[in-house]
Structure 1
Amino acid sequence: MPHAHVNGITINYEIDGPDTGKGTIVLINGLADDLLSWGFQVPALVDAGYRVLRFDNRGIGKSDKPRGPYSSKLLADDAKALVDHLGIKGFHLMGVSMGGMISQEYALAFGGDLRSLTLACTYGTADAFCQTMFAMWADLAKTIDVPFVMRDVALWAFTGPFFNERPKDAAEFAAAMASLDMSLEAYLAQLAVIQAHDALSRVKAIKAPTLVLAGEEDILIPVRLSKELQQAIPKAQWKTVPGGHACLWETPDPFNQAFLDFVRSASR
């Protein structure tokens, strides 16, 4: 996979699909997820005629892992530096979970780059429930290890029926989490992003056509927080799809369809 040295670090990225003239979609992944986490989305987006850029955020995968803590603004600056390096302009941006927080900061700082903005399974500002949960993740990572935390997160990211109806898939996700190659320092540096992100009072300045998308049974980032974010962004659209926080993996077809429907509407 290609690399780019931008914003003081080396970022690992991948571009999928030809430039058909329809435009480019830029994807920003969540906490402890590398660019491979978009495996259920990329084929559908490329088949729909879009070129897709995905990359490893600092701290994960094959990108550099400098000392933290990181912030959503810092990672938005990384994304900006990468798209500028690649000469990508006028693109559709989607971020999931932590990626949605990074995408908010991108839209606030560099909104002129965007044809549309999709914020999935995310919030503008964490509530006390989320902050307590994040503090627990930090304690578990320090006391046990990062893969243990991610196995726990995977349990709560999917819905009950997923475990009942697709035990093989559930086991594969659990195994992937258990084998996660991420140091404690890098995990805590990324965790700081979601702990400190606080944009709810500022997102009213977002001008790009926006969709806030949520898994209807999300209990990691409660749906009410995503709804609160949607209500704070002028003219933002709202959509829920089946599944929980990991709806992009649990129910990728409705997730992808909701996203593509919005991108097409924003392109008219």
Structure 2
Amino acid sequence: MPIAAVNDIQINYRLEGEGPETIVLVNGLADDLTTWDYQVPAFLDAGYRVLRFDNRGVGGSSTPEGPYTSRMLADDTKALVERLGITGFHLMGTSMGGMISQEYAINHGSDLRSLVLSCTYADPGPFCSRLFDVWAELAPAHGVPFVMREVTLWAFTQDFFENRSAELAAFEAEMAAMPWPVEAYLSQLNIIRKHHTADRLGRISVPTLVQAGEEDVLIPVRLSRRLHQAIPGAEWATTRGGHACLWEHPDHFNTVLLEFWARHRRTAPPVG
């Protein structure tokens, strides 16, 4: 995959499709660009070009010393799209990626055609703050694979655990085998611990959809709802599943996003 040198780091990215409009996808904590494997085919089929990439600190991108912030990674995203000559795009971020995308919209909003914020918040609040403090203590003591195995318990619904055991085992094995240094994990974890945009969301002026998994317990739906209420004119949607709804119920997730983008694209999709 190609590499872009921006902001004194190397960013691993993948740009696919020939559509006249581009969707830029921003990953969550510890996730590389394969996060979107269940989304990209549907987005390409709908006539979009799709950019996905590894945030600093994970995958094939550089892992400079941290800690990192959501603004820092928003500026990485800005530098990458400028390097690739992408303008007027649809920005979509999930979880930590949604926090990065908020900072992008606040600080570089004129670049955007639309914004989707998935399973995310403007402020972690007391519950998430305590949970992420626990992760920060667990990682140095037990390693990142241990923490990622624990994250699985928060990401999927009870129905997934009870009825989709083979898929669950595959996700658990992938997360538990993650070869990721503790320092890099903690650098990204700082983003979701310190993110705060609640007092600046009024600056977002592009068409925005805030989406949540209807059974999300990792980032409680009430926090996503507060984010939605603070963004002028934002739309709201829930989809089936929990925090990992994009993996657990990708067809429903993709349909909701594509319906939103269809209302905000400049050009009609290709015929045939």
TM range (shorter): over 0.9
Match of 2:77 in 1: 79
SS at match of 2:123: coil
Cα deviation per residue 1:190-237 (whole Å; 9 max; x = unaligned)? 000000100011111100100000000000000000000000000000
Cα deviation per residue 1:27-67 (whole Å; 9 max; x = unaligned)? 00000000011100001000111000000000000000000
Moved over 3 A (4+): none
- What code does the residue aligned with 1:244 have? G
Q: 1:204 aligns with which of 199, 202, 205?
A: 202
Alignment partners' CA distance in 2, 1:188 and 1:253: 32
- What code does the residue aligned with 1:150 have? M
Q: CA deviation at 1:267?
A: 1.9
SS at match of 1:240: strand
SS at match of 1:118: strand
Match of 2:107 in 1: 109
With 217-226 and 258-267 compared, the bigger mean Cα shift is at 258-267
Alignment partners' CA distance in 2, 1:237 and 1:174: 33
**TM-score normalised over the length of structure 2:** 0.97
Gaps of 5+ in 2: 267-272
- What code does the residue aligned with 1:218 have? D
**TM-score normalised over the length of structure 1:** 0.98
* 1:121 aligns to 2:110 (yes or no): no
1:38-49 matches, within 5 Å, as 38-49=36-47
SS at match of 1:194: helix
SS at match of 1:133: helix
- What code does the residue aligned with 1:121 have? C
Q: CA deviation at 1:241?
A: 0.4
Match of 1:16 in 2: 16
SS at match of 1:59: coil
Alignment partners' CA distance in 2, 1:259 and 1:173: 24
- What code does the residue aligned with 1:198 have? H
- What code does the residue aligned with 2:72 have? L
CA RMSD in angstroms comes to 0.6
Q: Identity over aligned residues, as a percent?
A: 60
Match of 2:153 in 1: 155
Gaps of 5+ in 1: none
